[in-house]
């Protein structure tokens, strides 16, 4: 296929996909679960008003939000899903009340027919939509109001300091007085009620709830609707068809991509890093340090699942509770991976173009300082927010937004958004001269600029919601950031950078690299953009979102099924010529990326992506199985590989010790595999059984999660975590001891004749002529 046709295909995919994403985003705005102006009883008593429900959402976010249990299945996994837990407690209270009033017995003492009759009565009451759009009033029965009051007493005591709930707090990894103000305790109950109301109340004119009958709760009639089965079957058909077509394409367009005229010596041997390229070294040092801290916080977070308020007896939760350790663990993971990729972009731009713009080094240093301020400032703000030392408005701006992967306060989000545009400016000004003197790479250069611009622009989706936005709308935009920014255009950027590296090393022909990158981008984004909807099946979205998400998320898996070609191809590259062995471990990282793309993003991703599977699995430990293997296995290993490539370029004339990189590479990958295989995945599958049989509330309950069986599986994680941590520490030690050498410190292979470098060293304000 010609490059021109590929570009037309790329443009068509972008326009079509974002048109669909935008149109159904508008539908989400229209059909999101309404927030009533007031919730009143049949006798006229006001329970909550709109402002209290929205402020309750802000209270939930201030204590960590999705880092403290889940709502609608999104968040952390030690505490329960509050929407499912509230709904179950409300249902049980009402069933017991009716049983006592009508039969004079406890509900559990009734026979099956009597229980079934009460369940039918319960479903009729809870599922009926009593919201009046004309007045904005939601009416509930007096008995349901009693259930709401009972739940409110429970949650207020739980989040504050009720001694009768001390054991439950520890099992949920909640510190005492997670909420200090009784008024805030009252407000959070309004939000929990609304979130659970959306789970059971049927949409107007329909027989399914706002959340497509999620969570599974047989007592209230929350069972998987037929649409879940239909679109699950269709997604499997689409997957098979997509794999078949892509396999045919590979077979019919199979060409030898390795350059037959590979150089005998390393083309980068005589490359002297420019001042701005050298300035990126400190970025990689910070990457190594953040990686170590992130792993330490991850181990602490995992331990809280066993000892909820302490670390081996040390009362750590008083100053660093679970919600904060998990926040920092997730946030630092995103930050060190992104920092590695951004630093690689700053490193490679002058290397590719042969041009060091004026004050480029200053720009790189300013951006570095800005990133440090964001990391330190946002973490400090989150601590003050979670410790309830901020007002709700201040918390939104400077504290904790309570949204997984987008936990930064709004001020820090804006700061980071501005920083990404500084990065984009530095990248583009350095790369533009290459368009004039490298015509053979113009397609790669164009995709490089497009993906860089997308990285800066799409983080802006995180600014599209406000403090009082409907949670369904907030989730829509949050997944733009998590899925499109992190999983989408960062991957396109990395693909382009890797292609550049292999072309400049003389291992790939430029023409085929150009075509392969554009084709891979088309295939990935065709499923990936609209596939964002697979995160929103049960987040207050209409059925059309479920259908689109199921269909296109299946297409996301298609290119991953044939990822073995990429792994084999990268292994070939590592053995192409003897001098390529100096790049062995960066290339091995790219092989690991291919492996985890297949296993983590492909197999384990598709395990939970089909609607009927996710209906039972959302919010269980099957999600972090996919999260760890896809986020770290793919993007983390990519970040490590790109970092090692840049460090290799800075230290090209010295020999690297083989042993530490070998230990780091295998320990990290084996540790990750064991962490998943002997702990997190078994727990998730056991929870799935409980969710199918009894309901999601039970699969997430303290009673079930504290069982001896699951306790053993949680402790088994220590094996994989320890091996993984050893690899991380060795890698960090290796990176931190590397500096820019002033002279040769070891033997290197000398070329027979000088090989053309990318460009020799450049003084600022001077452009090289090829």
The runs of H, that is alpha helices, within 63-163 are 82-98, 112-127, 142-159
> How much is the pLDDT for 15?
96
Q: Are 555 and 242 in contact (CB under 8 A)?
A: yes
The runs of H, that is alpha helices, within 677-744 are 681-694, 696-699, 702-705, 708-736
Please state, in angstroms and rounded to a whole number, the distance separating the CA atoms of residues 388 and 391. Answer: 8
Q: Are 174 and 305 in contact (CB under 8 A)?
A: no
Backbone phi, then psi, for 741, in 5-degree steps? -70, 150
Helix axes 112-127, 82-98, angle to 10 degrees: 120
Backbone phi, then psi, for 515, in 5-degree steps? -65, -40
pLDDT in tens, 670-708: 999 999 999 999 999 999 999 999 999 999 999 999 999
CA distances from 369 to 112, 361, 528, 735 (A): 67, 13, 33, 20
> How much is the pLDDT for 678?
95
> How much is the pLDDT for 429?
93
Please state, in angstroms and rounded to a whole number, the distance separating the CA atoms of residues 604 and 590. Answer: 19
The three-point CA angle 745-748-752 to 5° equals 140
> How much is the pLDDT for 765?
34
CA torsion angle 723 724 725 726 (round to 10) = 50
> How much is the pLDDT for 392?
97
pLDDT in tens, 749-764: 333 333 333 433 333 3
Q: Are 33 and 470 in contact (CB under 8 A)?
A: yes
Please state, in angstroms and rounded to a whole number, the distance separating the CA atoms of residues 669 and 667. Answer: 6
Q: Are 452 and 352 in contact (CB under 8 A)?
A: no
- Name the stretches of the chain with pLDDT < 50: 741-770
Number of neighbouring beta carbons within 10 Å of residue 673? 19
Backbone phi, then psi, for 670, in 5-degree steps? -70, -40
């Amino acid at each position: 296929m010609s490059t021109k046709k590929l570009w037309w295909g790329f443009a068509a995919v972008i326009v079509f996909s974002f048109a669909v994403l935008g149109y159904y985003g508008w539908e989400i705005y229209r059909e999101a679960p309404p927030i009533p102006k007031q919730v009143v009883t049949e006798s006229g008593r006001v329970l909550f008003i709109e402002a209290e429900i929205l402020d309750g959402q802000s209270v939930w976010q201030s204590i960590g939000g999705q880092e403290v249990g889940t709502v609608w299945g999104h968040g952390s996994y030690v505490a329960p899903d509050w929407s499912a837990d509230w709904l179950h407690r409300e249902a049980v209270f009402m069933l017991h009340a009716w049983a006592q009033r009508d039969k004079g017995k406890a509900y559990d003492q009734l026979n099956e027919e009597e229980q079934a009759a009460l369940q039918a009565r319960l479903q009729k009451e809870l599922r009926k939509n009593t919201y009046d759009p004309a007045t904005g009033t939601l009416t509930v029965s007096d008995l349901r109001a009693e259930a709401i009051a009972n739940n409110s007493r429970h949650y207020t005591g739980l989040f504050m300091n009720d001694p009768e709930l001390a054991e439950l707090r520890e099992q949920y990894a909640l510190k005492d007085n997670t909420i200090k103000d009784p008024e805030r305790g009252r407000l959070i109950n309004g939000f929990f009620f609304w979130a659970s109301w959306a789970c059971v109340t049927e949409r107007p004119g329909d027989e399914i709830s706002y959340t497509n009958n999620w969570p599974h709760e047989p007592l209230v009639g929350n069972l998987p609707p037929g649409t879940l089965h239909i679109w699950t079957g269709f997604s499997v058909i689409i997957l098979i068809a997509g794999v078949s077509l892509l396999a045919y394409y590979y077979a019919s367009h199979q060409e030898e991509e390795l350059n037959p005229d590979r150089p005998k010596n390393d083309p980068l041997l005589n490359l002297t890093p420019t001042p701005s390229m050298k300035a990126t070294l400190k970025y990689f040092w910070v990457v190594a340090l953040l990686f170590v801290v992130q792993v330490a916080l991850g181990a602490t977070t995992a331990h809280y699942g066993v000892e909820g308020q302490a670390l081996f007896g040390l009362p750590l939760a008083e100053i660093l509770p679970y919600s904060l350790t998990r926040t920092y663990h997730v946030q630092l993971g995103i930050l060190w991976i992104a920092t590695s990729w951004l630093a690689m972009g700053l490193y490679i731009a002058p290397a590719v173009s042969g041009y060091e713009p004026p004050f480029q080094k200053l720009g790189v240093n300013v951006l570095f300082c800005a990133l440090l301020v964001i990391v330190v400032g946002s973490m400090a703000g989150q601590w003050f927010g979670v410790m309830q030392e901020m007002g709700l408005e201040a918390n939104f701006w400077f504290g904790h937004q309570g949204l997984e992967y987008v936990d930064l306060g709004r001020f820090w989000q804006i700061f980071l958004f501005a920083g990404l545009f500084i990065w984009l400016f530095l990248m583009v000004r350095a790369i533009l001269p290459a368009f004039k003197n490298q015509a053979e790479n113009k397609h790669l250069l164009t995709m490089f600029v497009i993906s860089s611009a997308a990285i800066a622009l799409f983080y802006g989706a995180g600014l599209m919601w406000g403090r009082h936005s409907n949670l369904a709308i907030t989730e829509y935009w949050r997944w733009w950031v998590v899925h499109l920014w992190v999983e989408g255009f960062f991957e396109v950027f990395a693909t382009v950078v890797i292609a550049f590296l292999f072309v400049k090393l003389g291992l790939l022909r430029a023409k085929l690299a150009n075509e392969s990158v554009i084709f891979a981008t088309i295939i990935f984004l065709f499923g990936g953009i609209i596939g964002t909807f697979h995160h929103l099946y049960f987040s207050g979205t209409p059925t059309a979102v479920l259908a689109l998400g199921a269909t296109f998320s299946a297409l996301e898996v298609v290119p991953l099924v044939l990822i073995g070609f990429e792994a084999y191809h990268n292994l070939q590259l590592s053995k192409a010529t003897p001098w390529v062995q100096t790049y062995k471990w960066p290339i091995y990282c790219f092989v690991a990326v291919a492996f985890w793309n297949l296993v983590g993003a492909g197999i384990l991703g598709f395990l939970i992506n089909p609607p009927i599977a996710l209906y039972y699995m959302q919010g269980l430990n099957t999600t972090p199985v996919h999260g760890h293997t896809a986020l770290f296995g793919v993007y983390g290993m990519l970040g490590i590989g790109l970092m090692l490539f840049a460090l290799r370029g800075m230290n090209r004339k010295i020999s690297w010790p083989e042993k530490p990189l070998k230990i780091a590479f295998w320990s990290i990958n084996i540790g990750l595999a064991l962490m998943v295989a002997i702990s997190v995945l078994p727990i998730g599958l056991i929870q799935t059984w409980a969710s199918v049989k009894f309901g999601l509330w039970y699969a997430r309950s303290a009673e079930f999660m504290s069982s001896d069986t699951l306790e053993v599986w949680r402790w088994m994680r220590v094996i994989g975590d320890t091996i993984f941590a050893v690899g991380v520490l060795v890698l960090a030690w290796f990176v931190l001891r590397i500096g820019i050498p002033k002279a040769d410190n070891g033997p290197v292979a000398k070329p027979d004749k000088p090989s053309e470098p990318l460009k020799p060293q450049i003084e600022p304000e001077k452009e090289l002529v090829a």
